[in-house]
Each structure stands twice: as structure tokens, then as C-alpha cells.
Amino acid sequence: KKSGLVGALFGTPRARREERENRERAFEVLKFIGIEEYADRLAKNLPYGVQRRLEIARAMGTQPQLLLLDEPTNNLDIHSISWLETLLNARTHCTMIIISHDRHFLNAVCTHMADMDYGTLKIYSGNYDDYMMASTQAREKLFADNAKKKAQIADLQQFVSRFSANASKAKQATSRAKQIEKIQLDEVIPSSRVSPFIRFTQEKKLYRQALEVKHIAHGFDGKVLFKKNNLLIGAGERVAVIGGNGVGKTTFLRCLINELSVNEGEIQWAENADIGYFAQNNEREFATPSTLIEWMTQWRKPGDNDQAVKAMLGRLLFSADEHFKNTQVCSGGEKARLLFGKLMFQNHNVLMMDEPTNHLDMESIEALNLALENYEGTLIFVSHDRQFVSSLATRIVEIKNTKMLDFKGSYDEYLKSQGLTG
């Protein structure tokens, strides 16, 4: 809108006094959500993360009694998500219904979980971890109860088979046959949730040093993103690159793979470094029309046959009927799984991933998380998913004010070092 963020938040009243009051209130909100510097900018020209904050502020600015949030953490950086958690937890008198694949966010904000599975909707008390424990226990109890009933039926059936022809015990056999008829097994409805099988291995192991970055600098259109930064990354480290929206995280990764040339400095990889890259924007990977099986075939190793390609697609949850689907009609999550298959075929000893959990469902996120926990190579990744970063990173690099703050330790340890809470 022509009136910039203030207009986007509240519109422009005709009355001068009301306009002044609304503008003052709007600036207070903009300052509270940390985007007052953009007050005179058009909303459509803002960075995605700032637009997201604006949308959330506008939804909450009316003091609603019911708030519906659909993937509110999308396009927010990791610090902005922490801000959002604090903001939502302060609204104790507002009922919220939230859709999110961010596990840490759900744990921090939600008091109940609505599980849509098995063709039904069931409500669990507690956060995401509580729900996972309760739903798993309920499923295990169902199987255990059915197992007991099957054992009981088998015992009764054995008695009936043995003594039904015995005149002295025919009455007992008939009684047990009636007991069998009364025992009903609980229905086990197949879950709609399935997890892909993701495993990354390295063909050639790196020793000691993987990467050295010397005095690098880069920027666009006169704006410096980072400058005069040095990093020495050892083999096997798992480095999370974090920072606010627009600080240059993706640019940094693109410089590391030589997709962009640094303005200053030098990037030196180990001689045997074999780098695999997962881009946040992967449209170029699927620019040429092809079927799933054609696309995956180009990445198989020499000696792998068609069966290996089909097996890879199967592990990534693509049925045989989908093998001839065009990759260009695949969803964001399907394309991400295809890219994981490509990386699995190539056995890199360095993986670089830019927001790999975007577009993934919860099962795929957890499968990827587990795969990277077990990966023995060097990992450098950008993610806004707090749980993902906390569980994986052994080192944090935060790009802030053109500098790279290098911290050797977990994300939780990094927060404590900065005087922040987890």
C-alpha cells in the first residue's frame, strides 16, 4: 500500500486525530516486532522474513480472541522464531490453532496437539514431545492388547479342537467356542504417516582440515554482506550458519561452492573434498522436463542398474506408479526427497545444505535429522529449524553486522554465551 507499513497494519483513517493515534500505535508495534527501520517502505518490497513479521503483527494487532496461524515460522530466521514464541506465549487469553512442522516451536508454544491420522482427528494434551510419547504408547498398547487376545484365542481354539469330539468335555468345548466368538480384536488402521529412508555416506574420508576461508568479503549493489572473515573448518565438523534474514547466509554457501565469486579473499578446500550441495531454491535442478526415473538415473553410480534407481525411489516413498511422473509437477517436499536421493547416490565427504527442511513433512524432517546425525562427513548447513540446529551443530557461525561470529559448541551453548535463553 502507498502508506507503507503503517498503512499495511492499520489502514489510513480520514480523521487527522485518529490517523495520528493509529500511526503512533503502528510505530509502537513496528518497534516491538523489530522492523521500525522499514516503516516508510512498501510492504511488497520487504524481505520475506520482514513481511512475515508484518503479517503476524497485523493478525495480532486487533487483539483477537481466536488466532489461526498456518506455518507461521516460514521465512523467519532462527532469532525471529524465538521472538514469535515469546510473543505468542504472552497472549494467554487468546486461543490459537497452529499448523507447523517446526518441532521446537510446537514444544515452546502449544498446550494441545490435534493429530490427523488413521482417517480420524484426536486431541492430545501437552506439546509435541508429549504427543509423540502418548501416541506411541497408545499404538503400542493397541498391538499388545491384540497380541494378548490372539494368544487367548489360540489357547481356547486348541482346547476346542482337542476335546470337541470328547463326550465328557463337549460342554466345556462348546463354552470355549462361544468365548472365542466374544473376543474382538481392536481394529488397526494403517497410518497415513510414512518415513523415507535417508542415509548419507562418504566414499573418501577427509582427514584434519576440510576448508579454510581467508579474509573473504562479498556484497551486492554497494551493500556489504560480510567482509574480512576467516574460518578454518576441520573434517567431520557440523557447522550451522545462522543469522537474520538478508545477512548473506545463502550467499556465503554459494561462495563456498564457487557459484559466486567472492569480492575479496580466498576459499581453499581440502584436496580430496567432494562437495554435495542442497540449494534452497532448487528449480534449476528440475528445469528440464523428465520423469522421476529418468531424473534419478542420471545420478546413479557406474555399475548401478535400473533396479538400484527404482529401489532409491522406493526408499524415498515414490511408488512404482509414480516413477513416470514428470518432475516439474512434483511438490516442494517431493523435489527435496529426490535431491536427497541424488546426494545418497554420490557419497560426498562434504555436504552443504541451505534450508533442507523447507517443504518437508514431520516424518521427512525427522528422517533427514537422523541421517545427518549419523553422517560421518563434514556438514555445513543453514536452517531456521531450532530443533534441527540444536540436534546437529557442533559449531555455530552467525553472520551479523558483516562479521562471522565463530563459536565452537552446540547451539544451546552458543545462546548461553550470548546471554540468551534457550
**Per-residue pLDDT at 32:** 67
Q: At what angle do helices 362-373 and 332-346 cross, to 10 degrees?
A: 20
What's the pLDDT score for residue 4? Answer: 64
Block residue for cell numbers 501416541: 135
pLDDT at site 78: 85
What is the predicted pLDDT for the residue at 9?
59
Residue whose cell numbers read 497494519? 9
State residue 46's pLDDT score: 75
CB 97 within 8 A of CB 73: no
The shares of helix, strand and coil residues in the chain, as percent rounded to the nearest 5, are 45, 20, 35
Question: Would the pTM count as exceeding 0.85?
Answer: no
CA distance 186 to 142: 7
Give 318-326's long-range contacts (Cβ < 8 A, gap of 24+). Answer: 318/292, 322/292, 323/291, 323/292, 323/293, 324/291, 324/292, 324/293, 325/291, 325/292, 326/289, 326/290, 326/291
> In angstroms, what is the C-alpha Rg of the chain?
28
CA distance 235 to 255: 19
Please give the pLDDT value at position 8. 60
CB neighbours of residue 118 within 10 Å = 15
**Is 63:55 a contact under the CB 8 Å cutoff?**
no
pLDDT at residue 44 in the model: 75
Closest C-alpha to 19, from 34, 30, 3: 3
Residue 422: the pLDDT is 58
Rounded to whole angstroms, how far apart are CA atoms 280 and 194?
A: 24
Q: Are 156 and 180 in contact (CB under 8 A)?
A: yes
Answer whether 47's CB lies under 8 Å from 245's CB: yes
Sign of CA dihedral 359, 361, 367, 373: positive
DSSP-derived 3-state class of residue 243: coil
Cell numbers of 91, please?
Answer: 497472549
Q: Which residue has the cell 531456521?
A: 384
Rounded Cα distance, 108 and 414, in Å: 19
- The predicted pLDDT at position 1 comes to 45
pLDDT given for residue 364 in this prediction: 95
| Number of alpha helices (DSSP H) and beta strands (DSSP E) in the chain | 14, 13
Laid out side by side, the sheet with 209-220 consists of 223-234, 209-220, 264-269
Q: What is the pLDDT of residue 6?
A: 61
Per-residue pLDDT of the chain (422 residues; tens, 9 = 90+): 445 666 665 555 555 677 777 777 677 767 766 777 777 777 777 777 778 778 887 787 777 899 999 988 887 888 888 888 988 998 888 999 999 999 999 999 999 999 988 778 889 999 999 998 998 898 889 889 999 999 999 999 988 888 877 877 888 888 888 999 999 888 877 777 889 999 999 999 999 999 999 999 998 888 899 998 899 999 999 999 999 888 899 999 999 999 999 999 999 999 999 999 999 989 999 999 999 999 999 999 888 899 999 999 999 999 999 999 999 999 999 999 999 999 999 999 999 999 999 889 999 999 999 999 999 999 999 999 999 999 999 999 999 999 999 999 999 999 999 887 65
Check: CB of residue 81 under 8 Å from CB of residue 384: yes
Residue whose C-alpha is closest to residue 187's, from 143, 156, 148: 143
